[in-house]
A and B are shown apart, each in its own frame.
Chain A
Amino acid sequence: MEFVEKIRQKLAAAMLILGVFVVWEIACLLMGIPEIVLPRPTVILETLSARLPQLMPHVLQTLGTTLTGFVMGVTVGMLLGAIVGSSRVAYDTAYPLLVGFSSIPKVAVVPIFVLWFGSGTVPAVLTSFIICIFPVVVNVATGLATTEPELEDVLKSLGAKKREILWNVGIPRAMPYFFASLKVAITLAFVGTVLAETIASNRGIGNVMMIATSSFDVPLVFSGLFLLALLGVALYLVFSLIERRVAGWAMRKSELPTL
């Protein structure tokens, strides 16, 4: 019974998503919107299937760049977050710096990276790297800083060292926060990569879309957008799955959304 109910819910959701595209398709047809303004979903799919072999290296390029930047960003973000979340001084000094730094529009930073490292993959990796750091730091720091002192006291009264308390209480406690930030960070990482690719690269989906725009190949531009959205959703799902294994305790069974 419960299983049938789940399937029904999944099906309803899928239908709804499909419905959005159907409405898009019909609206374009009814209002006679030309392809150069807004291509229909079917046209986009056609373009996608026709040009996929051509696009594939760019997809891999963007994916690789994004993941590299993402992993670097998350690693640094985690370490910074651990420091900021467990020390008052670090909290007071690092926070204003971080907020200031992440308020800078990343478009403004890309030319600097190009100046330092030349155009290509490196600026793209760096852009997605710096764009990832902030949400991770903020969340990890919050998770650690909001750890209930009572939970720490349990370990302290056993004579645990600071490192043991961090390992057994602080880190597990911060996990749900960390995973929430990963979901934000992975989507941001794509933004960073594509941004840098658009400005200064001759490879990657961002570059493809840039060139397609200048030659008014709008269906190809939208194909690029589609691919980016797909990659984003796929990685989001991967992290959701890992999250459920590692930090599932934060979501009670009954409230747990099934993928």
Chain B
Amino acid sequence: MLTEQQSTRATPSFDVVPGEGGREAIKLEKAEVVYGRGKRTTQALAPTQLRVEKGEFVALVGPSGCGKSTILKLVSNLLAPSSGHVHVGGREVGAKRVGVGMAFQNPTMLPWLSVRDNVMLPLKIVPPFRSRFRKARKGEFRDRADALLEKVGLKGFGDKQPWQLSGGMLQRASLCRALIHEPELLLLDEPFGALDQFTREELWGILQNLWLESKPTVLLVTHDLREAAFLGTRICVMSPRPGKIIDDQPVPMARPRTISMTYDQDFVRLTQQLRELITHSRPDVA
């Protein structure tokens, strides 16, 4: 409905031609998620339309419990839609192997592996890297993990165990793990939600740089409106449960964006407008 048209409005600072067949990365078509059976059902996600082009950075915002994370689970094939369709890379999700990197609100590091081994985990699972994992784990892959760790400010922490790192450091490592296999699709589920403001803002900058380097398609779930506006090329606003997308707008600000830009008038106006959309969509307020 609105996504199709409005994504044409999205004219970010790079060359995406919306609507063109081969450029579609994600498409949700009347995707609905219902938990439970019989009379005791909960609709987690109302039939939702969403289309994301390749190379876009889409931020999903909305009140808590509105089904933002559900959309991520659908796209990452952790959850199947109760009805409707989810397409990733032009095919039904799961039909074709798409390089997906995912970071969660909790860093979810495997506690028995060192930080570096945690970061290298996708290389062990995902083709074409998996076939070379045994040979390259001590050489090429190791260097690759270390290089990535250095980019997020974790140089020299590869040999540490996860419990020796702080929450912010673990989240940086988690970002590395999501990126190491150079995924076409990056799914971020409130990855900075549990961090303090300063760490969070620093990581926004790092994430922006990483994205600018290789331009993967990103779907970011967040409840931080400044974060959405800072990082996204497009922001989708969701209504409270059962969630659906009620607004979809581009973020025209130039890249690379800086933290001080988030206090500019345009920027503040944008976040203010988003805030009002969300508060007015809540049934108890409206």
Query: Which A residues are CB-close (under 8 A) to B78?
Result: 153, 156-157
A153 to B110, CA, bound (A): 12
Given contacts A150-B108, A172-B110, A249-B112, contact A158 B100 (CB under 8 A): yes
Q: Name which residue of chain B comes closest to A176, CB basis.
A: B112
Query: Which A residues are CB-close (under 8 A) to B187?
Result: 157
How far is the CB of B164 from the nearest CB of chain A, in Å? 9
B121 at the binding interface (Cβ < 8 Å)? yes
A169 at the binding interface (Cβ < 8 Å)? yes
A154 at the binding interface (Cβ < 8 Å)? yes
Query: Which B residues are CB-close (under 8 A) to A150?
Result: 104, 106, 108
Query: Which A residues are CB-close (under 8 A) to B106?
Result: 150
Q: Name which residue of chain B comes closest to A165, CB basis.
A: B125
A163 to B163, CA, bound (A): 27
A158 adjacent to B161 (CB under 8 Å): no
Which of A160, A164, A172 is in CB contact (< 8 Å) with B112?
A: A172
Query: Which A residues are CB-close (under 8 A) to B124?
Result: 168
Query: Which B residues are CB-close (under 8 A) to A169?
Result: 110
Given contacts A157-B187, A159-B126, contact A151 B97 (CB under 8 A): no
Given contacts A151-B108, A249-B112, contact A157 B77 (CB under 8 A): yes
Given contacts A159-B126, A164-B125, A249-B161, contact A154 B102 (CB under 8 A): yes
A58 to B130, CA, bound (A): 51
How far is the CB of B102 from the nearest CB of chain A, in Å? 4
Q: Name which residue of chain B comes closest to A155, CB basis.
A: B125
Which of A151, A158, A249 is in CB contact (< 8 Å) with B122?
A: A158
Query: Which A residues are CB-close (under 8 A) to B126?
Result: 158-159
Query: Which B residues are CB-close (under 8 A) to A247?
Result: 112
Chain A residues within 8 Å of chain B by Cβ, number: 21
How big is chain B's contact interface, by range? 20 to 34
Which of A157, A173, A250, A252 is in CB contact (< 8 Å) with B102?
A: A157
B121 adjacent to A168 (CB under 8 Å): yes
B125 adjacent to A252 (CB under 8 Å): no
A219 to B212, CA, bound (A): 81
Query: Which A residues are CB-close (under 8 A) to B177?
Result: 154
A252 to B165, CA, bound (A): 13
B111 at the binding interface (Cβ < 8 Å)? yes
How far is the CB of B270 from the nearest CB of chain A, in Å? 31
Given contacts A154-B102, A250-B111, contact A159 B125 (CB under 8 A): yes
B222 at the binding interface (Cβ < 8 Å)? no
Q: Name which residue of chain B comes closest to A171, CB basis.
A: B112
Given contacts A249-B161, A252-B163, contact A160 B125 (CB under 8 A): yes
Q: Name which residue of chain A comes closest to B76, CB basis.
A: A157
Given contacts A155-B121, A158-B121, 8 further A-B contacts (CB under 8 A): A154-B121, A155-B125, A156-B77, A157-B76, A168-B125, A247-B112, A249-B161, A250-B112
Pull 17 A–B residue pairs with CB atoms less than 8 Å apart, ordered by A.
A151-B110, A153-B78, A153-B102, A153-B104, A154-B110, A154-B121, A156-B78, A157-B187, A158-B122, A158-B181, A164-B125, A168-B110, A168-B121, A249-B111, A249-B112, A250-B111, A252-B163
9 closest A-B pairs by CB: A157-B102, A249-B112, A157-B76, A158-B125, A172-B112, A160-B125, A150-B108, A154-B108, A158-B122
